[in-house]
Amino acid sequence: MKSILIALLLTSAPPSTEPGYIEPGYMMGSLKANPPPMPGALKAMGARWEMDYKTLRRALLKAGWVATPREYSHSTVYGFPEVNCGQGWQAVCSSGYRKGKQEVFLWLHPTGTNLILIGAD
């Protein structure tokens, strides 16, 4: 019974709005310890793992990349109509961009108030 009460309390707690707070389900620093290669198009713009999506998005749009339409009919992240997010404990968000024949797909992790880059292809 105690475990059910604890689980209920953990799942009903509102997310933190502290700057830099990382929601459970993503181990901060894991990309820095053993980073996968950054796609060349993103590397050329100075992208780095765990960077703020707002900054990366601005750089992509400035460089002529166009966001690909999201899969769902409704926006899942306020202010970012191109981003799709799952739900649940380890939910991840995604977004895609196209420039000519090039495409990049981004995997993003929601923090308290931001999205951070955790994967790209």
8 inside domain: no
108 inside domain: yes
Distance CA 118, CA 20 (A): 15
2 inside domain: no
Q: Is the pLDDT of residue 78 over 70?
A: yes
Number of domains in the chain: 1
115 inside domain: yes
**pLDDT, position 27:** 56
Mean pLDDT of 104-111: 92
Contact between 96 and 84 (Cβ < 8 Å) = no
**pLDDT, position 48:** 92
6 inside domain: no
Q: What is the pLDDT of residues 43-67, one digit of tens each?
A: 999 999 999 999 999 999 999 999 9
The reported pTM is: 0.73
Distance CA 61, CA 45 (A): 11
32 inside domain: yes
3 inside domain: no
Query: Where does residue 23 fall: left (phi above 0), alpha (psi -120 to 50 degrees), or beta otherwise?
Result: beta
Q: For residues 49-72, b (16+ Cβ closer than 10 Å) or e, as one string? A: bbbebeebbebbeeeebebeebee
Mean pLDDT of 61-90: 83
Split at pLDDT 50, 70, 90, the class of 4 is: low
What range defines the domain where residue 31 resides?
18-120
Segment holding 54, helix H or strand E:
helix 53-62
Q: Between 72 and 102, whose confidence is greater?
A: 102
**pLDDT, position 96:** 95
**pLDDT, position 5:** 44
84 inside domain: yes
Computed over every residue of the chain, the mean pLDDT equals 79
Q: Between 33 and 32, whose confidence is greater?
A: 33
